[in-house]
Amino acid sequence: MAQPPAKRSKPGEIDKFLARGRQLARRDGEHAARLIFAIDATASRQPTWDRACKLQGEMFLTTHSLGGLCVQLCYYRGINELRASKWLLDEQALLRQMSAVRCEGGYTQIERMLGHALREHRANPVRALVFIGDANEENPDQLCGRAGECGLQGLPLFMFQEGRDPAVESTFRSMARLSGGAYAHFDHNSPGQLAALLGAVARYAAAGKQALLDYGNSSASGVKLLLDQLK
């Protein structure tokens, strides 16, 4: 016997359902920990940018059981271009944003990036900023002063350096220490190390040092080095 036709939803019921879905999504975003994912996108960085595109999902994956993560992509490139995305709640949204970016020649804009991060933090607290870069063309004292301001405001910086430039390492280490964050080095031959570092910072942002401690006990040595530096 043929089944009677299903009852059709009234026009207003569909609108209410969609509005309810948007409301729940906003609520999830409000409770998720906020993390700024900042990357140097000047010309030499394209290979690392491409690797970061593939690895960024690690940040979301490791925080699913900890209340989730809300990430803002921030990058600089060219002569005077600093951009920041909307706050994103999943790896596919972040991947779409990153896949549309191409690195361009220019100078570092780390201090300007930190100024943006502090404004975001004052508007709605950000748990951490993770930065990936290999160069610095700015005044180290000014950068350290800005990093100290981040520390006073409760915004730790996780500075991840690709390469071994000793002057860059000295500045990045000082910035991490002054902000209450941590420094780590990685190279292009160790994508697993960068993935572990991103996952570690995500866990720290989502649930604090204890979550990072639990993760570090079964993870890469680079993650353990982060733990040793955190206050």
Residue extents of the structural domains in the chain: 33-229
Query: Count of CB atoms within 10 A of residue 29's CB?
Result: 14
Query: 3-state class of 108 per DSSP?
Result: coil
Task: Kindly indicate the confidence band of residue 8, based on its pLDDT and cuts at 50, 70 and 90.
Answer: low
- Could you tell me which residues come within 8 angstroms of residue 9 by beta carbon, excluding any fewer than 6 positions away? 17
Percent of residues, the chain, with pLDDT higher than 90: 66
Q: Give 157 or 16, the one with higher predicted confidence.
A: 157
Asked if CATH classification 3.40.50.410 holds for the domain at 33-229, the reply, yes or no, is yes
Per-residue confidence (pLDDT) for residue 218, from 0 to 100: 58
pLDDT for 25 equals 41
User: In the structure, what pLDDT confidence band is assigned to residue 215 with cuts at 50, 70 and 90?
Assistant: confident
Q: What is the mean pLDDT of residues 211-220?
A: 73
pTM over 0.95: no
Least confident of 23-32, 101-110, 181-190: 23-32
Q: Which residues contact 178 (CB under 8 A, 6 or more apart)?
A: 144, 147, 148, 150, 151
Cα 159 from Cα 173, distance rounded (Å): 7
What is the crossing angle of helices 221-229 and 209-216, to 10°? 150
